[in-house]
Structure formats: C-alpha cells, structure tokens
Structure 1
Amino acid sequence: MILTPPSSTSKQKSLFGTRHLQCFLCFCCLSVAYALRVNMTVAIVAMMDKNATNPNFEEFEWDEQKKSFILSSFFFGYVVTQIPGGQIAQRYGAKFVLLFGILTCSLMACLTPICASLGGWKLVAVLRIIQGMVQGCVHPATHAMLAKWAPVEERGALGTYCYSGSQFGTVVMLATSGYIAQSSAGWPGIFYISAACGFVWSIFWVIFSASTPADHKTISPDERKFIETSLGHTETTHSTHLQTPWLKIATSLPFFSLIVVHCTHMWGFWTLLTQIPSYMKHILGMDLKNSALLSALPYTFMLLLSFFFIFLSKVVANNKKISLSFNRKFFNSIGHWIPMISLIALAYVTKEHSILAVILLTLTVGINSATYLGFQVNHIDLSPNFAGTLMGITNGAANIMSFMAPLVVGFVVTDVKNPIQWRMVFFIAAGFYFFGNLLFVMLGKTDVQSWNSVEDELAKRHSKRLSMFDVEDAAHELKKPDVS
C-alpha cells in the first residue's frame, strides 16, 4: 500500500536532501563503472594499431575474432553474479556490494597492461571476465538503493539521474581515450586513469553513503519520514525479512515482458557501444582520435536527452488522466521504436554521407535514454522489496545478449570494410528493438504485485476468507425463521 506523505514533510520535495546525495554518489558509481567497462572498446583499437603514432608501447596482432572475444568476455562473468548480487544487496544492503564491485574492477584495470604483455589476449580476457563478475552486482545494488531511497513520486526522476551516470562515464572515456592513447601515457594510461577514478570514488562512498535512510547517520528525521511514508513502510517491514517468491516471480507475465524488453534493449545498445569505433574507422574512414570523439557524441546526446525526458515526464504526469502505465510504455516506445527506424536508415548510408551516418548514430543511441523512464524503473514498480533481485534476473538475462551481440558481429562482419555486412548487423538490432517494446506494451504493468510483500499476500488472503465468511453468515441469517 502506498501512503501519501503528510503535509509537514512535503517541503522535502523541493530541497537537496540526503536522498539526492545518495543519487549523486550512485551517478558517480555508474560513471566509474561504465568507464571501466568501455575503456577496452577504444583501447583495443590502439593496442592493435600497427601504425600507431606512439611506438613506445607494445602492439598486438589480434584478429577480429580475438578482438570480439575480448570485448565479449566481460559479459561472460557479468551474467553470473546478477542474481546473487541482487540477493546480497537486498539482504545486507547495497553499500558494501557497490564498494566491493568498483574497487575490485579498478584493481583489474590496473593489471591489464602487464597481463596483456605477459599472457596475451587470453589473460586479458580472463581479467575482463573477473571485471564482469564484480560489476554484475552494480545494477541490482543500485536498484536496491533506489527502492529504499527514492520516494514514489520521485522514482522516475531520481532513477534517471542515477543511471545517466552510465552515459557520463561512457562519454568521458570515449572522448578522452583516443588522446590518452596517443599521449605519453599510451594505451596503458586508459586503464590506469579509469582505475584511479574508481579508487577515489570508493573513499567518498565509504564516508557519505548508506544502504537505507535508517542507516544514514546525518539524515534529518523529516526527510527519513518523508521517504518511508511515501514508500508505505517503516524499517520494521524491511525486505530483509522476506523470502524471495521465486515461483510467483517466474510465472508473472508482467515480469516476463520486462525480461524480454530488457534483453532486446541490451542487444541493440551493446551492439552499438562495442562496435561504433570500428564502424567509424573502417566504414566512415575516420582516424582513432576523431573516432573516439564521435563515438562519445551519441552518449553525450543520450545524457542530455535523459534530462529532457525527465522534464517531459513531469509534464505528462501533471495530466491526471494519464496513468503511470501509459507513461512507462510511452517513453519506452520512444526509446525503442525511434532508434529502430534510424537504425534501418543507417544501414543504407554510404561513406560519402558520413555526416548523415553520425547524425543517425547519435539519434539511435541518444533517444535510448527515454527507456530510463520506461522499462528500466519498472522493476521497482512491480516490487519495491525485491527490486534488486528483479534487476539481477533481467540484467543477467539481458547481458547474455550483450556478450552474444559482439560475437555475432564478429561472425557476420568478416570483412570490416564491407557495408553490406554492417547493414545486416543494424537490421538485427532494429528487429530486436521492435519485438521487445511490442511485448512490453502488450503485457507490461506498473501495479505493485501481490508477491511483493508477505504481509500484503497474507492480508489479501485473510480479507478473502473474511468475505467468504460474510457471505456464509448472510445466507445463514436468511434461512432463520422470522419470529417477529
């Protein structure tokens, strides 16, 4: 049950409170996580560049299949820890989970240059698998944080603020990595600098974060009351006391549609994220430095559009006739079907129209940000108590697609200079976008599910039994003779 916040705490809506600080720290966490995740995307181009302008660092003779395997290896580990990460964050709090994930991933980034020299592509792939494993808990733990810190009426906005960090980290890493690779630091500097950011973030996270409002030492009583009242619970009904209803989750149609739309989204998103530098270099004929900058452009647009969509969602929400369900599906349709159309158009753009190709790529990736107000917060809509676990399930399934996508590109694109082969890659991604959103529109829901809370389920059953007793009592009274 969702309770309305009392008027005495309504003023908290307009203030920068502790909940906003937690969201900012999560924004920085995701920025660092994605910087550590995508640093290989541009670094590997420099590592394989035989014509590198900086001869002081080793170059590697890896073919496209080995390159695709390295880019995909992150996800081999990433999918394994999604559900365990959600469960651990749900039971013991998200603070430690996020700290462990970023620290370990940063350490692996530091070891990448020396491991590449000693063990070649195989050892680099092993490091990426470990990085994937420790980062597998980041999204579920972030969802667990949002479920405890984001009031219902601010859920979409705060969720978008947090997850826009992934675009910020991607933009910064893609925009700067080309320059770093050609500087005195060379391509190893890409890994060292991103790792240093992770170590610095960890210090601030330890000092200023908390898994729940109740755990935070400096939160004001009014803000804590505002958050907990909006969420309809107090700390005595924490999800740490609830058993995960696996069977009910597995048989939920709204949740099934959420899994599918998340999977199809990640296929399209990661196909573009991992392949844009190669596409720009081999098809559009752009050098590494320009490729890095233009690769960052779509994610810059995505970052900016995410804030525009927050504003648009508030305008839509002010219309009381528009339901939350329509709101989620409307923005998700924008985030998937417009990119679907632009991908199909992109498939027919030639090298002579490279500016148009950049515009379409920017549009395709940028408008994806609308999904932050669509399916990407739907886990919390369906079940605030198990949001971390639900995100772990869908993100785990989705990232099977994430590591399959670069592998498929490696098999489809046997000649990196063949535009027809790249056209097939874009057609496949467009098809996934269409099907996933269609199913979400048809089956997706925003109602809190009965299996969200044991207490809610028991109350529902008790109410049903009482109603049956009332009917039986009424029937019994009708059978009694009228003695008046």
Structure 2
Amino acid sequence: MGSDDEAHLFFNLYSQRMYIIISLMSGMCVLAYMRGSLGMSMTCMVNSTAVALEHASSAHKHEPLQRGREILNEYTIKCNALRRGFTNKFSNSKALNDYGGDIIWSQHKQNLLLSSMSLGSIITMLPAGYLADRYSPVTLIKVATLTFSLMNLLFPTLAMYFNFWSVWAARFVSGLGEGFISPSIFSLISRWVPNHEKSQAIALFTIGSQIAGVLFPPVTALFCASVFRWAGNFYSTSILMFVWLTIFHFVGVDSPSKSKVISTSEREYLEQHIHSHNKKLHGKRPSIPFKQIFTSRAVLSALYCHFTFGLYIAMVSLFMPIFFKEVLFLNMKENGFYSSIPPFFQIFAKITWAIFIDRLKRKKILTHTRGCRISHAIGSMSCGTFFILIGYFSDCSNPMLTILFMTIMAIGTGTSSSGAITALVSLAPIYTGFLTSISTAILISGTMALPLLVSVIRVHGTVEEWRTVFYIVGALTFSSTIVFTLFGEAEIQEWAQGASPKLPSTIEQAEILPIEAKNLILNEEKGKEEEQQA
C-alpha cells in the first residue's frame, strides 16, 4: 500500500467520501424500515383468527362456522401447551397466536401486498440505471424517496377507510419510486469511491439495512402494542424520511468536482483513482455494449447471486416475523426483540470483514476477484446451511435454537456485501448505473418470487409447510457459491476499458479529466515546444 493510499484512507475524519456514504447509509436505514415495516406490521394488522375461520368456512360452505375449529392440528395444540396463545371464541381451545389485528386480508391478498412494491420497482429499474449514469443521481434519489414517503404516509388511511386494492396501488407506486434509488446510489458511489475501497464503502452503506433490522422490529412491536397501533409505524417512518431528505438536500453532491467542502488533496487523489463518470468532452457517452454485458460470465454469475440474495432478503425481512408468530409462537414483544438480534451482530461482521478484505487487496495479497469470491462463498454457504438447519430443527419447543441459527447465519452473510455485490459495481464503472439497475431488478425478482413460492406452499402456516420453504431457499442460496466461485470476477472488463474517452487536444479541455490525463497532455505539449526550439 503506497504512502498516497495511507494518506487518504477511506475511514478517516477528513474523508469527504466517507461522509457521503454515511449520509447514504442513514437514508438506507430509514428506507429499509419503510420497506420492511409491512412484514412486521402485518402480524398485528391482520386478524389471523378471522382469516383462518374465513378460509375454513369458505372451504366448507355447507357446514357450520364452528368448522373453523378444524384448523387446529396436533402441532398447534402442542404449542398452545408450551406458549401463550389467544382464545378462539368458537371453542375453549387456543387456536392461533393472534396479535389482535382488525383487518381481514386473506393469505393470497397478504402475499399480493408483500410483492406489490417489488413489481413497481422492476418497472422503473432499467430506465433508472440509464438516467443515473447520465444525469444527477442525487436529484433522482431525492425525487424517488419523496414519492416513497408520501405513499407510505397514505398507507394507514387507505388500509382503514378504503379497499384492499387502493392499498396495493399505494405500495405499487412506492415501488416505482424505490426502483430509482439503488441504481442512483450505486452510480453515486462509483463517482466517489475507487475500486480498491468499494468493499468498505458498500459495507458501510448497506449497514443501514442492519441498523434498521436492529432498531425497528422492537419499535414496530411497541407501536403495535401502543395507542397508535400499527399505523404508528408508517407515520413515524415517513416523518424520519422527510427529515433525512431535508439533510441530504444540503449534503448530497454528485461528484468530488462539485463538492465545496472536499480538500484539494482528496479531490486529486480521487481523480487519479476513479476511472469513469467524468463528463465526456465531446458530448456523447459511449453506447451501452448490451451483447458483451449479457454474454459476460462475470456479469451473469453476479446476477444469479443477486437473485438468491433477493430470496434471502425477502425471507428475513418479510417472512421471518410471520414464521416467529406461526411456528415459534412468539408473542409480539418477543417477535420484535428476537428479530433484532441477528442484524446487530451482522453490523460488526460486515464492517470488520470489509476492512480486512480491502486491506488484503491493497497489499496485493488477494486480487479483487479472489477477495470477492471468498467473501461471497462464506456468505452464501452460511446462508444456505443455516436456512436448511432452521427448517429441520425449528419448532415452538426450541425457539432459542432458531434465534441462534439466525444469528450465526447473519454473521456469515455479513461478508456478502464484499462479494458479488462489490464485484458487479467493479466490472464496468462507466456503466455502473445500468448494471446496478439490472442487478437490482434481478434481486427484486427474487423478493417477488418468494411470496409466490410461499403462497403455493404455505396454506395453514404449519411447520411442515415452512420447512419446505426453508429447504428450497437454502438450496438455491447454496448453489450460488458454486456459480460465483467458477465464473465470478471483479476486475474491470475489457469491453468496459474500451469505453474511455479520447484525449482532448488541449489542457484547457482536459480540465475535467483525471490527473494522469492532464499530465500526458502537458508532456505532449512540452515535447512539441522542444521540437520547435530545436
């Protein structure tokens, strides 16, 4: 590691790029709360007993409503003997661990709602990447988060006073806004952070999701038990996002060259080490090499990893609170508290690993590719292994074993941000927005696929049904280890290197190019002067 690198470490008090990433991390924290609050809130929004009875009565239209008692099975009776439940008004048995919600949405409607935002995101994802590479990613982030916040603010009113489809539409529009956020953020990161620091930057940025996972499940549970009920979650997240937007309006800057507070030395250092996103002098950016991108093994392997990561995200953020309720029979406060334990430990694992792996890369002990392969392998094997173990061992008699498995899995997957995610944004910096839009669309397709899978398998919420879900998700996640180890790369690809702009003819025109480009032109001009003097 050179003295120049030592003088401009990513983590230091004078690093303006670190503060940019911290601002994005705080926004991601609130965004993750807004996105994931529905999964936790659903447990106290929906009246589980009423939904189960409605399902039972529709299945037995010509029989008395008391038929709903047949939803009880041996597992439920066993858990009622071990865990506190709620009394079924149609019998003296405790039918379900119901949190006392007042909305009656069928399992099918719940799954539709959980996937509605993902559907909206996919629609705007590709144009978002195109726009983020060509225009201001900061502006796109602000407009997108404002849209998301407004729809989130309307959600409780629509749910309580209007029909289901108005709620679905609000989440869908939220997704349209969210589709712009990830491509814009990664485009911004590529303008501020050199390749050899991207593991640290992405780890710091994505920690926002883990902080949300630590803080907000207990907060969600407290709101559910308070006078504000579940609606308090939506109001509080919207207010937090409005506050963040106000702050980001003043601190968000598209590039080092536009920053008024960055030091001259840091600006020059970044100009030396960042390949792309300097404005092209002759107007047009190079066209996107679609064929090379979609036939690249490095790109395709990273995209497959993003799909399996989408399954993991949906499983943890949307369905684990429901699993804790239906299978582990945890009460509301236990659900919130135990949901926050795994991401707490993941925060430390993620940052520690990112600093460690980037240090090995700076010292040339590991190449970018090998560092990303090792990082992804640890994360995906941990995820796949422990999902399968949770499916095999978990039931209401040993909830702490499930929490232990979830915590170890979270620590292991803390390395994932330094794996395929870092690799993809390193392959072609000039096309970061486009590649990120594709990868995020693939990731979101994973988050959409899981609710569809769960809706087919989970009918009554039994442990056997959930076991099948865990086995499938675990196997798919584990398979990404093999794919990325064989085909994953993290070096700038040949088809991306060819996109560099032609050198201008004068130093004045080179004002916005990196330092080495300016020096090259100066040397050429100096050589011409010497020839003329000779």
Is the structural similarity TM-score above 0.5?
yes
Query: Displacement of 1:398 after TM fit?
Result: 2.1
C-alpha distance in 2, partners of 1:50/1:275? 15
Q: Does 1:131 pair with 2:183?
A: no
After superposition, residues 48-447 of structure 1 pair within 5 angstroms as: 48-49=46-47, 59-232=102-275, 235-237=278-280, 241-314=285-358, 316-317=360-361, 320-349=364-393, 350-416=395-461, 418-447=462-491
**Post-superposition offset of 1:115:** 0.6
Q: Is the 8 A contact 2:196 2:362 kept in 1?
A: no
For residues 464 and 284 of structure 2, the distance between their equivalents in structure 1, rounded to whole angstroms, comes to: 52
Q: Deviations over 1:75-112 (max 9, x none)?
A: 11111111111111111021011111111111111100
| 1:456, distance to aligned residue in structure 2 (A) | 4.4
Partner of 1:17: 15
In structure 2, C-alpha distance between the alignment counterparts of 1:27 and 1:230, rounded to whole Å = 23
Shift of 1:457: 9.3
Moved more, 386-395 or 238-247: 238-247
Q: CA deviation at 1:19?
A: 0.7
Stretches of structure 1 lacking an aligned partner (at least 5 in a row): 460-484
Distance in 2 (CA, whole Å) between partners of 1:425 and 1:240 is 48
Q: Deviations over 1:343-401 (max 9, x none)?
A: 11111223212111111122223422211000111122101111121011011022112
Amino acid in structure 1 at the alignment position of 2:33: A
C-alpha offsets along residues 329-353 of structure 1, whole Å, 9 cap, x if unaligned? 0010011012211111111223212
- The 2-side partners of 1:452 and 1:318 are apart by 22
1:314 is displaced (CA, Å) by 4.2
Cα deviation for residue 441 of structure 1 reads 1.0
Instruction: Label 1:455 to 1:38 Cα distance change in 2 as closer, same or farther (>3 A).
Output: closer
- C-alpha distance in structure 1 between counterparts of 2:499 and 2:229, whole Å: 58
SS across alignment from 2:429: coil
Q: Report the CA distance shift for 1:192/1:10 in structure 2 as closer, same or farther (over 3 A).
A: same
In 1: Cα distance, 2:39 partner to 2:128 partner: 25
CA distance in 2, matches of 1:8, 1:128: 47
Q: What do the CA deviations read for 1:417-458 (whole angstroms, capped 9, x no partner)?
A: x21111100111111112222111111112211222544498
Inter-partner Cα distance in structure 2 for 1:214 and 1:440: 36
Residue pair 2:276, 2:429 contacting (<8 A) in 1 also = no
Contact 2:378/2:415, CA 8 A, preserved across alignment: yes
The answer on whether the counterparts of 2:191 and 2:277 sit within 8 Å (CA) in structure 1 is: no
Percent of aligned pairs with the same residue?
21
Aligned with 1:29 (options 27, 30, 38)? 27
- Which position in structure 1 is the counterpart of 2:517? none
| Structure of higher RCO (CA pairs closer than 8 Å, 6+ residues apart) | 1
2:78 corresponds to which residue?
none
How much does 1:322 deviate? 2.4
Task: Figure out how many residues of one structure are paired with residues of the other and give that number.
Answer: 450
How far apart are the structure 1 equivalents of 2:501 and 2:276? 15
For the structure 1 residues 120 and 293, does the alpha-carbon distance in structure 2 shift closer, same or farther, using more than 3 Å as the test? farther
SS of the residue corresponding to residue 16 of structure 1 reads: coil
1:308, CA displacement in angstroms? 2.3
Determine if contact 2:192/2:255 at 8 Å carries over to the other structure.
Answer: yes
**Mind listing any 5+ residue stretches in structure 2 that lack a counterpart?**
50-85, 87-99, 504-534
Task: Judge conservation of contact 1:104–1:134 (CA < 8 Å) in 2.
Answer: yes
| Distance in 1 between residues matched to 2:286 and 2:243, nearest whole Å | 35
Assess, with a 3 A threshold, how the Cα gap between structure 1 residues 328 and 412 changes in structure 2: closer, same or farther.
same
CA contact 1:9–1:225 (8 Å) conserved in 2? no
SS at match of 1:241: coil
* In 2, Cα distance between equivalents of 1:401 and 1:318: 34
Contact 2:275–2:429 (CA<8 Å) still a contact in 1?
no
- TM-score relative to the length of structure 2: 0.80
SS in 1 for 2:430: coil
Change (3 A) 1:319 1:219: closer
Equivalents in 2 of 1:233, 1:285: separation in Å?
Answer: 52
**Change beyond 3 A, Cα 1:126–1:9:** same
Tell me: CA distance 1:200–1:240, structure 2 relative to 1, closer, same or farther (3 Å). Answer: farther
| Alpha carbons of structure 1 residues 240 and 47: separation in structure 2 relative to 1, 3 Å | farther
Change (3 A) 1:292 1:313: same
3-state SS, counterpart of residue 386 of structure 1: helix
Specify whether residues 88 and 303 from structure 1 end up closer, same or farther in structure 2 by C-alpha distance, changes over 3 A only: same
**Is the contact made by 1:450 and 1:456 (CA closer than 8 Å) also made in structure 2?**
no
Amino acid in the other structure paired with 2:143: F
Q: Is the 8 A contact 1:265 1:432 kept in 2?
A: no
1:475 is matched with which residue?
none
